[in-house]
Amino acid sequence: MTEHYQHRARKRFGQNFLHDAGVIDRILRSIHAKPGEHLLEIGPGQGALTEGLLGSGAQLDVVELDKDLVPILNQQFAGKGNFRLHQGDALKFDFTSLGAEPGSLRVVGNLPYNISTPLIFHLLHNAHLIRDMHFMLQKEVVERMAAGPGGGDWGRLSIMVQYHCRVEHLFNVGPGAFNPPPKVDSAIVRLVPHTTLPHPAKDHRLLERVVREAFNQRRKTLRNTLKALLPVEAIEAAGVDGSLRPEQLDLAAFVRLADQLAERSDPL
């Protein structure tokens, strides 16, 4: 098993390997995997969580980008019947290829900070397959996900994650739990896709567009940031005051704005 210690964490992959047994146990207890469940682990690294997840008896698929980790993971786990390894980029991974039943896939990951936001958006587009997600992320990213309207943390990530999921900030993890220690605190978040969306938009892609435009210049008023998409009368028709700044609006208000855009985009 000497190979296990030869792999150095790589900056270009944003790798920080979890080694604190107490933190690992707490994450595994939060996930509480059971036999018969289907789990997907993104970025298993050196297998800190993988062992416990496999021990639950659940079917576990893992996606790992770093080719050098593949033999290490196979050496440890390939003999187990409930383990399948996919070498590749999770940002390009086709989650439908796993054959998971709708609403059944449980996703787990200690996500590299440099890909966490685009990867979460990629997963949200596959939310119909997912039962829940447990991620280790930069603490400030989790705070943005869990934020409410009115503060500086409320923005595109908060709105689009909360459109699709219930967000639970479970607990924080200090840098010492990792090797090498990152320069920031981390946190564990649980995301549970809504079985029924609380504020369904006519077209969620238009919602993404409105939110992106609104927060591109978050200090400006909505009538200024959205003028390329919606005239003032359309903003008012959505029941929104155009003199407000984007961080003052809740999710439901953004959905109403997106639905105004959908009405204007519909061919007559």
Q: Cis omega (within 30 of 0) on the bond before 180?
A: yes
- On whether 110 is known to bind a ligand per the annotation, the reply is yes
Give 211's Cβ-side CA count (13 Å radius): 25
Check: CB of residue 200 under 8 Å from CB of residue 39. no
- On whether 213 is known to bind a ligand per the annotation, the reply is no
Check: CB of residue 214 under 8 Å from CB of residue 254. yes
Question: d(Cα 198, Cα 184) in Å, to the nearest integer?
Answer: 33
Instruction: Enumerate helices (H) and strands (E) in the chain, giving the number of each.
Output: 11, 9
Question: d(Cα 144, Cα 129) in Å, to the nearest integer?
Answer: 24
Report DSSP state, residue 9: P
Question: d(Cα 200, Cα 211) in Å, to the nearest integer?
Answer: 15
- On whether 64 is known to bind a ligand per the annotation, the reply is yes
Question: d(Cα 33, Cα 192) in Å, to the nearest integer?
Answer: 15
- β strands within 53-113, DSSP E: 59-64, 83-87, 105-110
Check: CB of residue 18 under 8 Å from CB of residue 24. yes
- On whether 60 is known to bind a ligand per the annotation, the reply is no
Give CA separation, 226 vs 41, 220, 264, 265, in Å.
39, 10, 14, 15
Check: CB of residue 37 under 8 Å from CB of residue 58. yes
List, as residue ranges, the binding site for S-adenosyl-L-methionine.
Answer: 16, 18, 43, 64, 89, 110
Please enumerate, by residue number, every residue annotated as part of a binding site.
16, 18, 43, 64, 89, 110
